[in-house]
Each structure stands twice: as C-alpha cells, then as structure tokens.
Structure 1
Amino acid sequence: MIALVSAPSNLGLRPPAPGAVPGTSKAPEALREAGLYDALATRGAVDAGAVLPGRYVDDPDRAEHTLRNQDAIIDHARRLAARLVDLRRRGYAPLVLGGDCSLLVAAGLASRVTGAGGLVHVDGHTDFRHPGNSASIGSLAGEDLAAAIGEHLPEIADIDGLGPYFEAASTAHIGCRREDEELAEVTERIAVTIPADQIILHGAARAASRVLAEPRLERGFWIQVDVDVLDPECMPAVDSPDPGGIEPDDLVRLLQELAPRAWGASVTVFDPDLDPTGAHAVLLARILTEGLDRLGEDSGQE
C-alpha cells in the first residue's frame, strides 16, 4: 500500500533570482489540489503526513567546499529517513512528494538502514557534479546522484557513517540529455545509463527492461523522479528545463514497468510558481497516478 509523504524542501536549489526562494516547496500542496491524493486514495493510498524542512537561506558567504543550506539538508535527511524506515517496516511503499532532489539523500539513508536495494534515478540531468569534477559545487539538487553513491563531500555522502547509500553497481540512471557534461563519467561509474534519446528512439518499455534485467537490481530499488526528465514543451514548470526530454506517456509507461519492484519513490523539482493556471500540476498528477499506482507490489511490501 502506498503512503504519501509530503517533503516540501527547496534546500538543495540555487535561488531563481537574487533574493528569491525556489518554489518547489509548494509542489506537494499543488499536487493535492490537482487531485493526486484523492486519486491515489481510491487505490488504497494513505496520507502519511509531512516532514518539514528548515528555513531556506541563500548564503553567498558560506565556507568554501560546503553546500547551500548544508546543515538544514542533513537535518531534514535524517528526519525524512526515519519516516521512510518506519513506513517500510510497517509494510508501506512510501511515495515522497518533494521538493527538490536533495531528498534523495534521505531515501539513501533509509535504504542503507533497511537493506532495501538499489537506485533508479530518472532525471533530465545526471546530477553528478561533485568536488572531483567541479570547482563550483554548492546546490545538492544538481549533485544528488553523486552524493548517493559516495562521490561527494563526506558531510553529505557519509551521514552517520552510512555512505555510500547506494552501490554504484546497483544504480541506474534514465533520462539525461546527450549534452550532459557528466554523462561519460556516470556511464563509466554505474550499472545502467540510458539517455532520453534512447527512450525516444526505442521506447520506455525497452529502457525499463534493461533496468529490470540488471542482476544487482533484482532485489528492489528506490525510484527518484525529477520532473525535468519531461520535455519542457509539455512540462516547463521545473527549475532547469532542457529540450530533448521524453513525453508524458513515455514516463507513465516507464514508471508502470518499474514501480512494482520499487520499495518507494520520490518526485521532485516541480515548481508551482511556474504553473499559474495549475494545468501542469494536473498533468503531473495524472502521470503519477497512472505510473505509480502499483508502487511496491512486487518488492516484498505487504
């Protein structure tokens, strides 16, 4: 059974403009208003409450080699991870509605504690910026995959000595654009990498089959979905839209194939500030309802 968890964090994002705050913290309630909670409730989902983040502060004078909102991200990750561990132990499949991609650290902590398996990272970017390949780290939402497999500052990649949260050999990435600067490095480091153009060319079912055939992912995984995997022609309400993304029905099919084996999922970077009519929230609610309604069915959840 799905347990919906609101995690309205914007801590891992850079400000959209000087003095402004990213709007991703509004996403869970925008999705509720768009009918997602009601739609999943008819399929048996329960509302498991919210894990609220600390205050967003853009600190341009922070120490070198630290993250924006680093302490607040770590605190939120610990508290969200505790909620996810509790839900898993009670037999639920958590669906975390973010928020930004820094939430992946919490999922990683929970996965490490429960021995829940690998990671399927669905994102329009590899999110693999880290101190070893960039001098401009600082926003964890663009660095979450690196942190998840231990390629980041130990303060964020080894919280409480639990890193790496996911083994690189048990990690798949789906959806980045060919122009992604870290694509070659990610392809070399993790088990499966499938850029968006391969889904467009060969279909979502084939991409899902490649992931599900990976032996190290057979015992289950967490799904992280960054909404910017979609083409901005249909989903512009994201922090960093790039052309060349997949279509909504491709994402639905991909999630339908993957969701039963996943023990949980997170959905991130939808920004209601960029969706004044609410139409994109309605679209995303449909995608998630159709794509994730069987979340956890084959993962050992009751």
Structure 2
Amino acid sequence: MPTVHLVEAPSNLGLKELIPGTAPAVDQLPAWLKQWGFHEALQPQLVRTVPPPPYTGQLDPESGVRNADAVAQYSQQLAACIAELVQPGAFTIVVGGDCSILLGAMLGLKAVGTYGLFFLDGHTDYAWPGLSASGGAAGMDLALVTGRGPAKLTTLGGQRPYVRPEHAWSVGNRDMDEDYVAAITASPIPYVDLAELRRQGLRATAAAFLEYVSARQLDGFWIHLDVDVLDNALMPAVDSPQPDGLTYAELAELLVPLLQSPLAAGLDITILDPSLDPGGKITRDFVAGLQPLFTVLTA
C-alpha cells in the first residue's frame, strides 16, 4: 500500500467566467469533495493546501492567456509542493481546481526525474491562444506542458517541456471538431480518442501505456483526470458538457491497472463545479464511482 498524499489545489485561474462578473466555482472543489466523503474514503497520510492568487479573468496581452501571470506564479508554487512529495512508495493526489493545475504537477515532476503523462480528458486540451475560444489555460494545458504555447507558461523556471510530447498520451477525447483534432494528430503525442479507446479496449490501452513507460525506462508517470471524460448523464457539473463519455465501470477498468503500477506517481482531479451540483448528488455518485481506485490505494 503506498503512502497517500493529498494536495488541495483550489485554483480557478485557468477558466473563463461562465457568468460575467462571477468567478468560476471550481476553486471550491477540494472543500466540496471533503464534504461528500472523498477525504474520508481516501484516508491520506498527509494533506496540504496550496492557495492560489486571486482570480481576475483578465486576458494577458503578452501571452493571450487569461490570468497568465497568476497561473505562472501558482504553477511554480504547486510544483515545489509536488517535487517534495513525489518519492518511491508514495502516491500524490492533487484535487483542483481547473486543468491548469497540470502545469504545476508536471513542472514538479520535471524537477525530480523523467515522467510520462496519461492525460484522460473529454477534450484534448491541445490548443494555444490562436486556437482557443476561451483564452483559458485550462483548455490549453496539454499543449503548455508539452512545450507548445507562449513562453510565459511553457518555460517556467527555465524548463521546457515539462513532459516530452511523445511521453504524454491523450486519451478519451470526444470533441471531434476537425481543426481541434488536426492539431493533436499533427503532434508527436500518442492519441486515443473515445471511440478508439473502446475499440481497442480499456485494459488493453492501460497495458499498452504501461509497456510504453517501461520500454522507455521512465521514472514514472502521472495521471490527469478531467471529470468531463465521464458520461455527461453521470457528470453534467462541468463547464464544457458533451454527449457520451465513460461510465464509472469503464473508468475503473482503465485506471485500476495504472494505479496498481509501482511507477504511478500521482493523479490530479479537475473541473467538477460545485455550483452546478447544488444538492451534491453528482458529487456523491462521483466519490462512490471512485471506490475501486480508493481500494487500490488504501488496501
């Protein structure tokens, strides 16, 4: 059983306001998950919180990214925390927040070794200001961590990329806009959309990724879980809902083999918006759906 660390990263810096004048509510997610039993089920040995700078939503004229300076500052703070916690026999879960917290996770891993990334998301997030409709870093995070985008966010601490593109697998996309998909298929990133994931099999995809990591002698890997990869009927409390998506059974089939690997360094969870789940039912079901993952980490 690994030593489980929990890092609360309540950042909404990477998102555009859904309601003008109202900051996105994903910064409430750590407290919201705790309220509905996530922390109790996970039983972490250590809990840390990395508070973010204030949200403004302003578009940075230099980079074309909202809150760019704040995202850069926060990513480096989060990276320092991650670099300290990632160690043999430990597993770190980072609860966001929005997907821009991935920058801090991968920058922190870069400081301690060469890591892969299993990027599980209903979108590719392989975009940059010229391709993004929102200007939010949360929709550009895979591009940014693999070195594509403005230097203000891709070269933090003089490092670039935080994970090599060929070491970052994009899995689960179901936004099939032609230009959007063309961007990632033209990149070195291994890409498995939702239809292909189901065609080749979830366990087979997990096994292929683990074999890939081992063959390249990586020090380990990180898992990014944007909850919008789940079926919209199960997880509508997200900022960019789409039809279809994974069931909780499929999610477990895919992630349990990865969590069982000694090379699994950690996992981040993003985008569940408490303001879109006022009664808590969606979140309760989410915590229950993660039980197979908790079992691996706490057994």
TM-score (norm 2): 0.91
SS in 2 for 1:240: coil
One-letter amino acid of the counterpart of residue 12, structure 1: G
One-letter amino acid of the counterpart of residue 139, structure 1: G
1:52 counterpart residue number: 51
Q: Does the CA contact (< 8 Å) of 1:168 and 1:191 recur in 2?
A: yes
1:239 counterpart residue number: 239
Cα shift at 1:262: 1.5
2:266 counterpart residue number: 264
Closer/same/farther in 2, CA of residues 292 and 204 from structure 1, 3 Å limit = farther
| Deviations, residues 212-242 of structure 1 (Å, cap 9, x unaligned) | 2223375421111100001111110111111
Instruction: Find the partner of 1:167 among 157, 164, 178.
Output: 164
SS in 2 for 1:182: helix
Closer/same/farther in 2, CA of residues 185 and 165 from structure 1, 3 Å limit = same
Distance (whole Å) between structure 2 residues aligned to residue 271 and residue 217 of structure 1 = 37
SS in 1 for 2:290: helix
Q: Are 2:149 and 1:147 equivalent residues in the alignment?
A: no
2:153 counterpart residue number: 156
2:82 counterpart residue number: 84
One-letter amino acid of the counterpart of residue 184, structure 2: V
SS in 2 for 1:101: coil
SS in 2 for 1:54: coil
Q: Does the CA contact (< 8 Å) of 2:16 and 2:134 recur in 1?
A: no
Cα shift at 1:11: 0.4
Closer/same/farther in 2, CA of residues 293 and 171 from structure 1, 3 Å limit = farther
Instruction: Find the partner of 1:95 among 87, 90, 93.
Output: 93
Instruction: Find the partner of 2:131 among 134, 141, 157.
Output: 134
Q: Does the CA contact (< 8 Å) of 2:11 and 2:27 recur in 1?
A: yes
Query: Structure 2: 5+ residue runs without aligned partners?
Result: none
| Deviations, residues 19-66 of structure 1 (Å, cap 9, x unaligned) | 11111111111111111111111xxx2232210111110225x42533
Instruction: Find the partner of 2:290 among 254, 272, 288.
Output: 288
Distance (whole Å) between structure 1 residues aligned to residue 66 and residue 295 of structure 2 = 34
Closer/same/farther in 2, CA of residues 281 and 83 from structure 1, 3 Å limit = same
One-letter amino acid of the counterpart of residue 109, structure 1: L
TM-score (norm 1): 0.90
2:222 counterpart residue number: 222
Closer/same/farther in 2, CA of residues 120 and 295 from structure 1, 3 Å limit = farther
Distance (whole Å) between structure 2 residues aligned to residue 287 and residue 5 of structure 1 = 20
Q: Does the CA contact (< 8 Å) of 1:12 and 1:100 recur in 2?
A: yes
Question: Size of the alignment, in residue pairs?
Answer: 292
1:33 counterpart residue number: 35
Identity %: 35
Closer/same/farther in 2, CA of residues 177 and 135 from structure 1, 3 Å limit = closer
Cα shift at 1:184: 3.1
Q: Does the CA contact (< 8 Å) of 2:123 and 2:175 recur in 1?
A: no
